[in-house]
Structures are given as structure tokens and as C-alpha cells.
């Protein structure tokens, strides 16, 4: 992994387009007049700022007011069974702040006090148990950072380039550091019987959103989480307790978790038959498509985050992830997939968590067809849309992990396109 930035000019040139090009419309030139922001005493340098406790729980400064979740009203009949999108085009690093992490509810986000929370474990166990929230906090805890991606992320793009913005094409994802108790610990507290093969998990909301999970996975890394990024979960993410199913589709991460039933068979609930199954070209459908395939996206520049600084140094930033393990490498193409170069990974990749990548180039103002391609620790390479369609046809809806193309125009604007 190459985690030293190419900060030298030679590095830029090596990493970038072979530019002979014009320099710096937006920087590097000499100033004609002194900058008043420097030469004049500014109000903030003479008066006083806000006192402590001006906002007991801090919110982003007003200038960041557009960094918010957004939805696409035409997608769903109403906002209660609906989805919105994380503003990934405007974030950096890898951790998603809870307040702008996307939401998906099937019967609305419910409002439940910790005191009213109960978790039942029943079925093929020696002793069916009920835990309170306070009980959960007395079990040994772990901390893990995981991405949660909705299986429908990028789903609108199966048929062609549709939504103009990384937030809308790839924003059904977030990445948080969770604190919780391994589900294994709770199952062992109840005593798993030998005939057990599956668990069925459901939430306390009206949808209950039940899902069946193989016992093997349940005992491996599934987490009963009550904090994210150090804080209590937000209501919209399942306060006070949700399930984390690392690397697997977001629908399985049951919110307001109320019951885990140990079973010898799957329930075949609505969420694993009518929904979250993937129809192939011949009309048969795959079921139990749990793992999220390796995927990446350039978050900037992108349609909602155009290049506004003119020619010269440009940071291309993006995210990569895989449900099968850690990201090994990310390649970036500036010419629609003809030629590729490896991007710089910002930190050592962690399994089933987002990885940030950067490619620093010298942009000469020519058009680009920007793409990124993730390669994970199993050697899986993120496919093109054409490769996916060849196997799956056009009707799969879920699990679209294809390579995305942004067309960068000479004025720095970007557009979601498909290329040959």
C-alpha cells in the first residue's frame, strides 16, 4: 500500500495526466493587490466569539447547511416507507457522522426509550431469555468500524445513467464505529441447541423487518450495537439497539432489535422473498444474496462537487469497500477505462469498512471520463456495468456494484454518464 502522498511536483506529474498543459487558472499566480482579509483587522479578530454552551450539542456551522441527507420523492409512495441518501460528495475521511447518515424505514422511525427496550432470545435455546437495555451494557463490549450499504444502492442505475450526483447514485451507505456486544455472547448466554442452523431477527417497529441469518454468520461477527461513533444510536438508525451484520446487505441490520429466534430453518420472510432477491434475465431469481460485492465511487469531483478552481493541482477523492474483506487496491481511470493508475489509500484498509482513496493530478482543463475500480483482499475486481449485465440482465435492482463514470467537462462541471 502506498500511503505517502505525492506532495512533490514530480509526484503530481508522475501520478497525473501527462500534462504539458496550461497552469493555474486558480492559484499560484502573483496577487495584484494586498488581500484585505489579511491587511485589515477582521471582526472575528477584534471582537469575541460565542461562549461555551452556545449550542450544548454542537451542530455544523451554517455554511455547511447543504451537507444533508436528501431523498428522491418519486422513488416511493410516501416518506414513511422510504429512503434518503448520505451526502457522500461533501464528506471526507471514512466515518459518516450520524446526523447525515442515510435512513431507510419500512414503517417509519420509531421513538422508544431505553427503559422500554426489551430483547428476547428464544427458539432452539436451553433457556429463552429477556434482556433489558441495562442488561446489555453489562456484557463485555467490542468496538468495530463497519460500512452499512443498502442492497439497493445504485439500483436506479441498472437500466442506465439516471441520477446526477454521487449522493443519489451511491449514498445509501454509511460507515460508523459501533460499540456493542457480540451476538454470540448473548446466544451462548441462552445456550444454543445442537439442531440450530439459523437465526431469525426482527425489530420492534410495525414492519418488524424480519430476516433469517445462518447461525455460522451469527456466531462469527454479528454485533448487537448500542452506540455509533461514540454516541447513542440516532432514532432513525434504531435507537436504542440495532444489529450489525458486517459486510452483508443493510436490510439485515435490523433496527430496534427486539427478538432473536434460534431456528433450524429460514423463515422466508417478506424481506427475503418479495424483496432483496435478484431477478436474472431468464426470470429466475437469486435469493440469500447477502454479501455486498467490492465497490468504489469517486466522491469528488462529481456532479454535486464540480471542479471550481480551474486548471492545476486537483485532488480526486473517493471511497471503496467490500463485504468480502478489506480493500487491497483502487485504480482510477481518467479516460473512461482505457488506462488505469493506482490511487493512494489514505489509511490501512479495514475489513468490511470504508477505505478512502485519493489521486492527486495536474488537471489541464481537458475533458475526463473519471472511473474508479476497487480490488479486494480476495482478488475480486469491481466489474463494469456491461460485465454485470452480461451475467444478471437488467432487472436485478439490488447489488449493483458496477464501475461508475463521471464526465468532467472543460468548465469543471461533472455529469453521470455511461460509456462504451
Partner 1 sequence: MSKFRNLLVCTALASLAAAPALAEKLGLGRPALPEEIAAWDVDVSPDGAGLPPGSGSVADGEVLFSENCAVCHGEFAEGVDNWPKLAGGDGTLAREDPLKTVGSYWPYLSTVWDYVHRTMPFGGAQTLSDDEVYAIVAYILYSNYLVDDEFVLSQENFLEVEMPNAGGFIVDDRDGVEVPRFSQPPCMNDCKDSVGITMRAAVLDVTPDETAAGETASEAVQVAVAETTVPAAASAPDPALVAQGEKVFRECAACHRIGEGATHRVGPILTGVYMRAAAQAEGFRYSPAMTEAGEGGLLWDQTTLDAYLERPADVVPRGRMSFRGLSEPGDREAVIAYLRSFSE
User: By CB under 8 A, is residue 78 in contact with partner 1?
Assistant: yes
Contact flag: residue 301 with partner 1 (CB under 8 A): no
Single out the residue of 417, 391, 414 nearest to residue 336, CA to CA. Answer: 417
Which DSSP string do the residues of 212-272 spell out, in sequence order? EEEHHHHHHT-EEEEEETTEEPPGGGTTT-EEE-TTB-GGGS-SSEEEEEEESS----GGG
- 227 in Cβ contact with 300 (< 8 Å): no
Q: Per CB under 8 A, does 142 bind partner 1?
A: yes
The one-character DSSP state at 291 is: B
Identify whether the C-beta of residue 287 lies closer than 8 Å to the C-beta of residue 309.
Answer: no
Binding partner 1 (rule: CB under 8 A), the pick from 99, 230, 379, 410 is: 379
Site residues for partner 1, window 14-33 (CB under 8 A)? none
Q: Scan residues 155-174 and list those touching ligand HEC (CB under 6 A).
A: none
274 is a contact residue toward ligand HEC (CB under 6 A): yes
State the binding partner of 74 from partner 1, ligand HEC, none, CB within 5 to 8 A by kind: partner 1
Residue 290: name its binding partner from ligand HEC, partner 1, none (Cβ under 5 to 8 Å by kind).
Answer: partner 1
**Binding segment toward ligand HEC, per CB under 6 A, in 129-137, 165-173, 270-278, 331-339:** 270-278
3-state secondary structure of 65: coil
Q: Closer to ligand HEC at the Cβ: 275 or 309?
A: 275
- 101 three-class SS: coil
Q: Binding of ligand HEC at residue 81 (CB under 6 A)?
A: yes
Measured from the CB of residue 117, what is the shortest distance to ligand HEC in angstroms?
23
Residue in 142, 255, 267 with CA at minimum distance from that of residue 204: 255
* Of 146, 177, 145, 149, nearest in space to 86 by CA: 149
Q: Which of 34, 39, 77, 216 binds ligand HEC (CB under 6 A)?
A: 77
Q: 20 or 283, CB closer to partner 1?
A: 283
Query: Out of partner 1, ligand HEC, none, which partner does residue 16 contact, by CB within 5 to 8 A per kind?
Result: none
Under 8 Å between Cβ of 78 and 213: no
Per-residue interface string for the shown chain with partner 1, residues 246-275, x marking contact by CB under 8 A: xx----------xx-x---x-xxxx--xx-
Smallest separation, CB 46 to partner 1 (Å): 29
Residue 35 makes contact with partner 1 by CB under 8 A: no
**Given 25, 177, 381, 389, the residue binding partner 1 (CB under 8 A):** 381
Write the CB contacts of 244 (distance below 8 Å, at least 6 apart in sequence): 144, 146, 148, 178, 180, 222, 223, 224, 225, 253
Residue 301: cis peptide before it, omega within 30 degrees of 0: yes
Closest CB 81 distance from ligand HEC, rounded Å: 3
Binding site for ligand HEC (CB under 6 A): 77, 81, 106, 207, 270, 274-275
Amino acid at each position: 500500500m502506498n500511503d505517502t502522498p505525492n506532495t512533490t511536483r514530480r509526484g503530481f506529474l508522475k501520478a497525473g495526466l501527462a500534462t504539458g498543459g496550461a497552469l493555474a487558472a486558480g492559484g499560484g499566480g502573483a496577487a495584484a493587490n494586498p488581500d484585505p482579509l489579511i491587511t485589515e483587522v477582521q471582526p472575528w479578530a477584534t471582537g469575541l466569539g460565542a461562549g461555551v454552551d452556545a449550542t450544548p450539542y454542537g451542530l455544523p456551522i451554517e455554511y455547511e447547511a447543504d451537507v444533508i441527507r436528501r431523498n428522491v420523492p418519486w422513488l416511493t409512495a410516501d416518506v414513511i416507507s422510504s429512503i434518503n441518501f448520505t451526502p457522500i460528495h461533501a464528506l471526507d475521511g471514512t466515518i459518516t457522522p450520524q446526523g447525515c447518515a442515510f435512513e431507510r424505514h419500512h414503517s417509519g422511525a420509531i421513538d422508544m426509550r431505553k427503559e422500554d427496550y426489551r430483547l428476547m432470545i428464544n427458539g432452539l435455546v436451553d433457556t429463552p431469555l429477556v434482556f433489558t437495555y441495562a442488561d446489555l451494557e453489562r456484557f463485555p463490549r467490542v468496538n468495530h468500524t463497519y460500512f452499512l450499504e443498502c442492497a439497493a444502492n445504485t439500483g436506479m442505475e441498472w437500466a442506465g445513467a439516471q441520477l446526477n450526483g454521487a449522493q443519489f447514485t451511491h449514498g445509501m451507505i454509511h460507515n460508523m464505529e459501533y460499540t456493542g456486544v457480540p451476538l454470540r455472547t448473548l446466544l451462548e448466554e441462552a445456550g444454543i441447541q445442537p439442531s440450530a442452523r439459523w437465526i431469525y431477527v426482527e425489530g420492534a417497529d410495525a414492519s418488524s423487518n424480519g430476516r433469517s441469518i445462518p447461525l455460522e454468520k451469527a456466531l462469527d461477527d454479528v454485533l448487537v450495537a448500542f452506540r455509533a461513533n461514540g454516541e447513542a444510536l440516532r432514532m432513525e438508525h434504531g435507537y436504542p439497539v440495532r444489529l450489525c451484520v458486517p459486510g452483508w446487505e443493510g436490510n439485515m441490520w435490523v433496527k430496534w432489535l427486539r427478538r432473536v429466534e434460534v431456528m433450524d430453518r429460514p423463515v422466508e420472510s417478506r424481506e427475503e422473498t418479495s424483496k432483496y432477491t435478484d431477478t436474472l434475465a431468464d426470470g429466475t431469481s437469486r435469493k440469500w444474496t447477502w454479501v455486498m460485492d467490492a465497490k468504489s465511487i469517486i466522491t469528488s469531483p462529481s456532479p454535486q462537487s464540480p471542479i471550481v478552481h480551474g486548471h492545476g493541482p486537483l485532488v480526486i477523492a473517493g471511497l471503496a469497500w467490500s463485504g468480502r474483506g478489506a480493500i487491497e487496491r483502487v485504480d482510477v481511470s481518467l479516460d473512461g477505462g482505457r488506462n488505469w493508475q493506482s490511487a493512494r489509500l489514505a489509511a490501512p484498509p479495514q475489513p468490511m469498512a470504508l477505505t478512502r482513496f485519493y489521486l492527486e493530478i495536474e488537471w489541464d482543463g481537458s475533458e475526463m471520463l473519471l472511473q474508479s475500480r476497487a480490488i479486494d483482499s480476495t482478488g475480486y475486481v469491481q466489474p463494469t456495468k456491461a460485465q454485470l449485465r452480461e451475467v444478471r440482465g437488467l432487472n436485478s435492482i439490488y447489488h449493483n456494484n458496477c464501475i461508475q463514470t463521471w464526465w468532467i467537462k472543460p468548465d469543471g462541471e461533472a455529469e453521470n454518464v455511461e460509456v462504451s
